[in-house]
Structure 1
């Protein structure tokens, strides 16, 4: 989801291989919040600005870097994007496509009584909306600080700090799963996450997730005309990495082509039911990072995958 490389609402968490594994048979409905690790790179007073580069970054390095980044930057993120996201809206991406109109999880009137897992929940805006429809959401995020914002806003549903690649839930615990720009853009092995989601879904369950549209990786992150010319290869899967002076990654995003994303969904055992590419609406005048009405009217910015578990 848009994050540091393409700063926009709904960038969330990434799984961390450093988190201790929990008993997968747990079906707790109590909040679980761990104390975060302390990172100083690019977050301590006087720290040098990280170097942006393209290089390989594996599962452990990516997840460790992104957990630290979101713990350090959650406050700024919520200040910058909190108004756009609201406290209890379900927005799929920077275009502003709302689940009220999209109904990608199904008609709102059918959500009552459904167990729903939100992955990369941030301040849990989507879970709050789901709860208002009568669903039973669980909001999961890797970032301790993001979940503190969820507590600040409030809600009666559980908040779980956990690794999306090792979900602390029993098999077949949920009817639906959703992720609005959460986890998947930041992980080195998306199939691992998708398989975990499939495991905790009941037969007939649905997963809907949104990510930055892969075509955006071929264009510079500029909102004006300079952002409309291809500057790199769409087929270059080399991750975007920000690293400190010692070469330690402090932020990582991973690029997958559209075909890669489809193959990931299938490899995880899902059936792809729909692929939604929201158009930029006339009412949305927002501009941040590489997102703007100009670019949104010409090239897609978000890809939403609707996946079914048979």
Structure 2
């Protein structure tokens, strides 16, 4: 059972800076590292980004594209009564918006601490702490599934996650997920002018790893090219029906890691894949 969190922020100043490198990292190492990273950093993440994310807003990425306008899951009035699985839900902000439309969401995340923040916010969203590659649901349990920067950027085997989502969706179900746009891997993760020059190969799929002094991974992010993403989707049995690359809006003056108005007006930062199960 997910329990109510206490209000505390980890003292990251006491921890040594991890080493950033590019090296292989398999499924088990990636899952262990990212579960620990999100548990340690959930408080800080929600404090820093909670205002932007809102308590019951469905935003697809740092550009601020909102589902109420995008309707990538379908018109809001058609969500009523639909069973929806949110993968990599964090504090379940998207699920809370879905519930307000009359849907029946379930919020899943690998991080226990992230899900505790959903209890802090409230709203009665059903919460499940589990790995997206092994979904603890029966076949055909959901009408829709969604993931806003959840799970897929952090797993070594995204096709396995896609197969699991395909399994738990009913025929005709839709899965929409957003990830870092693949082109961004060729640029430094910097929001200013220094982030506008290509610094690496777009085709280098070596994972980004932050590790401790003993070489144990503390955080892992995996790169897939645009073609890789499409092939993963098709191999899992989905049809790709749309691909959105949100432009940076004039109202958004915020910076989030490497995302910024400067970068966002020149190169895409987010890719959103809209998939359907036959």
Is the aligned partner of 1:248 residue 2:216?
A: yes
Counterpart in 1 of 2:7? none
- Structure 1: how far apart are the matches of 2:15 and 2:266? 39
Counterpart in 1 of 2:79? 111
Counterpart in 1 of 2:140? 172
What TM-score does the superposition give when structure 1 sets the normalisation length? 0.86
- Structure 1: how far apart are the matches of 2:228 and 2:151? 16
Superposition deviation, residue 44 in structure 1: 7.3
- Structure 1: how far apart are the matches of 2:176 and 2:134? 19
Residues 132-157 of structure 1: per-residue CA shift (max 9 Å, x gap): 00000000011010000000000122
- Structure 1: how far apart are the matches of 2:145 and 2:235? 18
Secondary structure in 2 matching 1:176: strand
Counterpart in 2 of 1:222? 190
8 Å CA contact 1:141, 1:163 repeated in 2: yes
Secondary structure in 1 matching 2:227: helix
- Structure 2: how far apart are the matches of 1:245 and 1:261? 33
Aligned 1:261-276 pairs, distance under 5 A? 261-276=229-244
Counterpart in 2 of 1:289? 257
- Structure 2: how far apart are the matches of 1:145 and 1:166? 19
- Structure 1: how far apart are the matches of 2:51 and 2:124? 22
- Structure 2: how far apart are the matches of 1:47 and 1:304? 35
Is the aligned partner of 1:184 residue 2:152?
A: yes
Residues 283-309 of structure 1: per-residue CA shift (max 9 Å, x gap): 000013211101100100000000000
What TM-score does the superposition give when structure 2 sets the normalisation length? 0.96
Secondary structure in 1 matching 2:14: coil
Structure 1 pair 43/193, CA: closer, same or farther in 2 (3 Å)?
farther
Superposition deviation, residue 223 in structure 1: 1.0
Counterpart in 2 of 1:143? 111
Superposition deviation, residue 164 in structure 1: 0.7
Moved over 6 A (4+): 42-45
Q: 1:154 aligns with which of 122, 127, 130?
A: 122
Structure 1 pair 44/76, CA: closer, same or farther in 2 (3 Å)?
closer
Q: Number of aligned pairs?
A: 273
Superposition deviation, residue 45 in structure 1: 7.0
Structure 1 pair 45/282, CA: closer, same or farther in 2 (3 Å)?
closer
Superposition deviation, residue 52 in structure 1: 0.3
8 Å CA contact 1:104, 1:208 repeated in 2: yes
CA-atom RMSD, angstroms? 1.5
Counterpart in 2 of 1:203? 171
- Structure 2: how far apart are the matches of 1:47 and 1:204? 48
- Structure 2: how far apart are the matches of 1:123 and 1:257? 28
Counterpart in 1 of 2:31? 63
Counterpart in 2 of 1:18? none
- Structure 1: how far apart are the matches of 2:88 and 2:214? 29
The answer for unaligned runs of 5 or more in structure 2 is: 4-9
Superposition deviation, residue 222 in structure 1: 1.2
Structure with the greater relative contact order (CA < 8 A, sep ≥ 6): 1 or 2? 1
Superposition deviation, residue 33 in structure 1: 3.5
- Structure 2: how far apart are the matches of 1:58 and 1:138? 28
Is the aligned partner of 1:193 residue 2:156?
A: no
